[in-house]
Amino acid sequence: MPRKHKTLPRLFVELPLAVGAELQLEKAQSNYLVNVLRLGEGGEVILFNGTDGAFRAVLANGSKKAARLTIEEQTSAQTAPSKIDYIFAPIKTARLDYMVQKATEMGVNALRPMQTQHTQMSRINYDRMRANAVEAAEQCEILNVPQVHEATTLEKLIANWAETDPNRILVFADEETKVSDAAVALKPYDNQQVAVLIGPEGGFSEAERQLLRAQSFCVPISLGPRILRADTAAIVALTLVQSNIGDLR
Amino acid sequence: MPRKHKTLPRLFVELPLAVGAELQLEKAQSNYLVNVLRLGEGGEVILFNGTDGAFRAVLANGSKKAARLTIEEQTSAQTAPSKIDYIFAPIKTARLDYMVQKATEMGVNALRPMQTQHTQMSRINYDRMRANAVEAAEQCEILNVPQVHEATTLEKLIANWAETDPNRILVFADEETKVSDAAVALKPYDNQQVAVLIGPEGGFSEAERQLLRAQSFCVPISLGPRILRADTAAIVALTLVQSNIGDLR
């Protein structure tokens, strides 16, 4: 926001993209392009696949079952992957959709669901998370669609951290932190790899909070004096990280 | 977030509140308390009215049409009004609901709808905005329910600013601002009265942007390199203001 007027529709495809290439879309995407976006033959669309950048393509054959496109030019180079992962306790569906979309808009590199003691987590719908991330990327002209990781538990996450991701700090919202200013807490970690962790609506258990605080790679920050819902806390925490040690400066 | 477990339900009422008072709720709220929250006689609820603080009350008579409550104790003093107003171009209903809820969570003092050149604004549903603000305040333990102002136009807003609110700065998201760091842009205005302005999804027109920039009370800030939807931009801008010159420090 604000977005430019009359921008072309954007479509994420799981196909290699290069100038001059001809693509045939599978049925669901063909139908979406022709019936939902109402693109006619000769109509233009921006394609991206998360790795090759963005390309302007022209509809050569408006079949609703197997639309064919010709790639005319590259419109953007692929952007560098974000340094920020987002780790979260899944919440109820409607607001989880929203949270995934918003984390994508805020430029995260990965969406990592996590079980905690107070998480009410039934089956995780990974396809739905992925679809929400793709939709947000299409709407907000983001070329790095975040990867959706398999769910883990907080204990495993902490136990494996040093081995799997030793240079990444883990920023978490701690209502009892003594360093109340996120700018002060984050300052030593300029440009570092970061994971932002938002707990469940019920909060972390006391044992979990102690576990987090005991880790040298964990950085507690305050999200302020008000109670925030988890989806709001996500955007607030990501804004604090992006504005202090990320690309929102 | 995180929120405490087993907190009592919270109910906003438009009645004076004081320890020892007995209240009779009107029909809709009686029904909500007894049928939706399933509060039985002797059950407890937190009441607040936006001016007197929060109070623990006990259900004396569980009538679904005219529930009676006795106020037992004050649980929180009324909080000071926020220094931040939120001015916004209304967007489509579902996300407008969300935007109003989120602005309330972020602690704004007033919700001020505004027409711009690129705003698609049909009839504004003030009651719905008010209901969303109340709901967010109930859920997030906020005692200052933001006032919903009558809609105005950007031109009128600017024309009347010096007369109606001369000491308030107007912070707006400007993708072309040269001061890219919100911390730098906001620094001179520590603790000042602020209005945060988020334009429509179509962006401000060039004339509107020039109008805003020409005002000495306007402070342009950048919301970063990504395109944000208006409801996300609201939370990001409010976080930047609260974390730099507000209460999120």
**What is the DSSP track for A169-230?**
EEEEE-TT-S---HHHHHGGGTT--EEEEE--TT---HHHHHHHHT-TTEEEE---SS---H
Cβ-proximal residues to B113 (8 Å cutoff; 6+ apart), any chain: B87, B88, B89, B90, B121, B124, B129, B148, B149, B150, B151, B152
- A95 contacts in chain B (CB < 8 Å): none
- Among chain B residues, the shortest Cα distance to A107 is held by B226
- A181 contacts in chain B (CB < 8 Å): 249
Arithmetic mean of pLDDT over chain B: 91
**Assigned fold of A84-245:** Alpha/beta knot (3.40.1280)
Nearest-by-Cβ selection for A229 from B1, B247, B248: B1
Half-sphere exposure in the Cβ direction for A216 (13 Å, CA) = 3
Subunit contact A175:B203, Cβ cutoff 8 A? no
Could you say which residues from 23 to 82 on chain B have a Cβ atom under 8 Å away from some Cβ of chain A? none
Instruction: Say what the pLDDT of residue A93 is.
Output: 80
Q: Which of residues B174 and B41 earns the better pLDDT score?
A: B41
Subunit contact B226:A3, Cβ cutoff 8 A? no
Domain spans of chain B?
10-76, 84-245
Query: Tokens 């909080």 label which residue?
Result: B79
Nearest-by-Cβ selection for A243 from B141, B182, B199: B182
| Minimal CA separation from B186 to chain A, in Å | 13
Which of A239, A242, A247 would best serve as a mutation to test chain B binding (most B beta carbons within 10 A)?
Answer: A239
Instruction: Say what the pLDDT of residue B201 is.
Output: 84
Subunit contact A226:B102, Cβ cutoff 8 A? no
CA A146 to each of CA A87, A130, A165, B12, B225: distance values in angstroms, whole numbers, following the listed order: 12, 8, 17, 40, 17
Q: What percent of chain B has pLDDT over 90?
A: 79
pLDDT digits (tens, 9 = 90+) for B185-237: 999 999 899 999 999 888 899 999 999 999 999 999 999 889 899 999 999 99
- Among chain A residues, the shortest Cα distance to B203 is held by A2
CA A168 to each of CA A35, A162, A215, A219, B214: distance values in angstroms, whole numbers, following the listed order: 44, 9, 12, 11, 44
- Reference A87, options A144, A138, A161; nearest CA is A161
The reply to whether B249 touches chain A by the CB within 8 Å rule is yes
For residue B94, pLDDT over 90 is answered with: no
The reply to whether A247 touches chain B by the CB within 8 Å rule is yes
- Reference A199, options A91, A107, A110; nearest CA is A91
Instruction: Say what the pLDDT of residue A102 is.
Output: 96
- Reference A225, options A173, A172, A185, A171; nearest CA is A173
Q: Could you tell me whether strands A54-61 and A44-48 are parallel, antiparallel, or unpaired per DSSP bridges?
A: antiparallel
Q: Which of residues B21 and B92 earns the better pLDDT score?
A: B21
Work out the pLDDT band at B91, boundaries 50, 70, 90. confident
pLDDT digits (tens, 9 = 90+) for B27-76: 999 999 999 999 999 999 999 999 999 999 999 998 889 999 999 999 99
- Reference B247, options A220, A244, A241, A180; nearest CA is A180
Subunit contact B243:A247, Cβ cutoff 8 A? no
* Element holding B213 (H helix, E strand): helix B206-213
Subunit contact A140:B106, Cβ cutoff 8 A? no
Query: What are the 10-residue block averages of pLDDT along chain A, 249 residues in total?
Result: 62 96 95 93 96 96 92 96 95 89 96 90 88 95 95 95 94 78 91 94 90 95 91 96 91
Instruction: Say what the pLDDT of residue B3 is.
Output: 43
Please check whether the domain covering A10-76 is classified as CATH 2.60.40.10.
no
Instruction: Say what the pLDDT of residue A213 is.
Output: 93
The reply to whether B195 touches chain A by the CB within 8 Å rule is no
Which of A102, A226, A238 would best serve as a mutation to test chain B binding (most B beta carbons within 10 A)?
Answer: A226
- Among chain A residues, the shortest Cα distance to B137 is held by A227
The reply to whether A228 touches chain B by the CB within 8 Å rule is yes
Interface contacts (A, B; CB < 8 Å): 147
Tokens of B113: 């709808």
